[in-house]
């Protein structure tokens, strides 16, 4: 006979935090949001510790290389989507890893006989205003000059004007030779009041650029998450089918952490994938797994060697797995049970396996609830899809801007590997939808606002760290009418678009 779980399956929206005693030290500026990303043994530290408890979902419409850089600047990790060719995913990882090495490979290059129209088109494509002029138009050709926004005026020049006529020629450039340290390069930039410094080899071929803005960016982003070589920490998604080819390519590209992207992780497919990675790389390659919704699923993946485990099935804003297949569990209930299993596993084995809450986040305060319930960090899709840095198009609908957002189980993504159960290599039916989300601007501003709310709520609970929040939090279930009571009610709200006189 089937096993019946009599406990009602709950969502984040059915819980509230009860405030606790807060001392005078409990102010948002004192709150630390550092959290472990991968497993570690008792008495040791995690090999990767994030500065904020946020990672981006492994989705085509969310996690590209631009978002990976933007999120790492804030202290989190983006998992670049795996539902693309191995070569393309590895290239995305390389671009993100090279962005903040200090020495940046040029991705905006032209030849001397190209035109101003080519420069303008390239700027629109890459968003970069510094364009290298090389003999062959490649990133490592012989450097002949540089074009910046100060070298041309679209309104005053013929679009067919040759680059050679308005570029800053090589003999007027200040360059440094290959082998120059980052500190030396920055000193040259400051001493000569430069915005960029080309690094060339003995033959005059372009190797890298060092930009003043990277130094400034570091000062503006004290939480940025860097590896031992001062490059941004970047994650990447893999599947349980082509891992033997994909994993080596991503490791070679510099990915710091991998994650198996699957709608349901309590399976032999994930076990085989983890065993292969451990057999080839031992513990040097960090890889998360999931998704699961109960203690049995957690224990299975923890024993298989997963470095972190994702919780959540069917709770994503574009996921219709529960509707189409009838499987899943309320995110809050699933998370509470799995986090309890994680703590028991830690007591038994001395190994701490971080838990990632994936899905079910609608409001900013749901992040705090997830952390209070035991999550070490949250994975967000819709949240990040709204920002400038996500890979999708911004569209105007009825005078309002939106960003495109679609599920990995939709026909648009056709990510059959994520839902594969050993049959034909195809999607039998959709488990995700194609949609729009309201455009919200740059990632930096929005993440700062969301986390300010998290810090403030933690102070209300008397907690200055995530672990302290999990020890002190008091949670209460709420009724439907108390949810209504919690919002604005029984008033006529003023139209915010109309100025008050």
Catalytic amino acids?
A: 319, 418
Structure tokens at 148: 């910046």
Peptide bond into 20 cis (omega under 30): no
Could you tell me which residues come within 8 angstroms of residue 97 by beta carbon, excluding any fewer than 6 positions away? Answer: 231, 232, 234, 253, 254, 255
CA end-to-end span of the chain = 69
At 232, give phi and psi (nearest 5°): -65, 140
DSSP-derived pairing of the beta strands 235-238 and 77-80: parallel
Phi, psi of 493 (to 5 degrees): -75, 140
56 DSSP 8-state letter: E
Phi first, then psi: what are they for 197, rounded to 5°?
-130, 115
Query: In sequence order, which residues have a C-beta less than 8 Å from that of residue 438 and are 6 or more positions away?
Result: 386, 400, 401, 402, 403
**Helix spans in 236-320 (H):** 243-253, 268-281, 295-304
Report helix, strand or coil for 73: helix
Q: Which residue has the tokens 């510099």?
A: 254
As beta bridge partners, residue 319 has: 432
- CA 194 to chain centroid, in Å, comes to 32
| φ/ψ (deg, to 5) at 313 | -135, 120
- What's the CA gap between 351 and 345, in Å, rounded? 7
> For 150, which DSSP code?
G
What gap in Å lies between CA 182 and CA 476, rounded to an integer?
53
Q: Is 221 exposed, middle or buried (0-12, 13-18, 19+ CB in 10 A)?
A: middle
β-pairing, 257-260 with 286-292?
Answer: parallel
What are the tokens at 281?
Answer: 């790389």
E strands, 302-409, are 309-311, 351-352, 355-358, 377-380, 394-397, 400-406
């Amino acid at each position: 006979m089937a096993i019946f779980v009599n406990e009602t399956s709950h969502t984040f929206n059915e819980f509230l935090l009860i405030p606790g005693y807060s001392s005078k030290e409990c102010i948002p500026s004192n709150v630390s949001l550092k959290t472990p990303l991968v497993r570690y043994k008792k008495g040791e530290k995690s090999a990767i510790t994030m500065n904020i408890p946020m990672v981006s979902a492994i989705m085509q419409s969310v996690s590209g290389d631009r978002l990976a850089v933007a999120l790492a600047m804030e202290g989190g990790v983006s998992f670049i989507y795996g539902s693309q060719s191995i070569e393309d995913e590895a290239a995305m990882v390389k671009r993100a890893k090279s962005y903040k090495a200090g020495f940046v490979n040029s991705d905006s290059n032209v030849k001397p006989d190209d035109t101003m129209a080519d420069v303008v088109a390239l700027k629109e494509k890459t968003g970069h205003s510094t364009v290298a002029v090389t003999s062959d138009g490649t990133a490592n050709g012989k450097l002949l000059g540089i074009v910046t926004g100060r070298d041309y005026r679209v309104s005053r020049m013929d679009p067919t004007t040759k680059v050679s006529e308005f570029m800053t020629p090589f003999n007027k450039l200040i360059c440094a030779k290959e082998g120059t340290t980052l500190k030396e390069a920055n000193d040259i930039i400051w001493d000569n009041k430069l915005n960029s410094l080309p690094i060339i080899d003995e033959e005059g071929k372009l190797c890298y650029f060092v930009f003043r803005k990277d130094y400034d960016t570091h000062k503006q982003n004290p939480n940025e998450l860097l590896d031992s070589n001062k490059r941004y920490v970047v994650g990447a998604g893999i599947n349980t089918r082509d891992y033997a080819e994909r994993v080596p390519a991503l490791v070679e590209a510099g990915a710091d952490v991998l994650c198996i992207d699957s709608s349901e992780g309590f399976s032999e497919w994930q076990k085989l994938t983890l065993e292969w990675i451990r057999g080839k790389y031992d513990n040097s390659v960090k890889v998360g797994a999931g998704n699961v919704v109960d203690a049995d699923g957690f224990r299975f993946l923890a024993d298989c060697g997963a470095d972190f485990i994702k919780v959540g099935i069917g709770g994503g804003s574009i996921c219709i797995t529960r509707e189409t297949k009838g499987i899943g569990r309320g995110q809050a209930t699933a998370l509470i049970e799995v986090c309890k299993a994680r703590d028991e596993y830690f007591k038994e084995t001395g190994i701490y396996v971080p838990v990632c809450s994936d899905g079910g986040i609608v409001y900013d305060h749901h992040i705090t609830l997830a952390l209070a319930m035991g999550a070490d960090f949250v994975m967000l899709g819709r949240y990040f899809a709204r920002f400038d840095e996500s890979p999708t198009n911004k569209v105007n609908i009825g005078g309002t801007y939106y960003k495109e957002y679609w599920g990995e189980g939709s026909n648009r993504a056709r990510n059959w590997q994520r839902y594969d159960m050993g049959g034909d290599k195809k999607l039998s039916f959709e488990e995700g939808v194609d949609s729009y989300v309201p455009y919200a601007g740059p990632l930096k501003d929005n993440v700062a606002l969301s986390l300010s709310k998290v810090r403030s709520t933690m102070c209300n609970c008397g907690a200055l760290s995530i672990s302290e929040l999990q020890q002190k939090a008091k949670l209460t279930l709420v009724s439907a009418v108390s949810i209504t009571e919690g919002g604005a009610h029984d008033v006529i709200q003023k139209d915010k678009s109309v100025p008050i006189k």
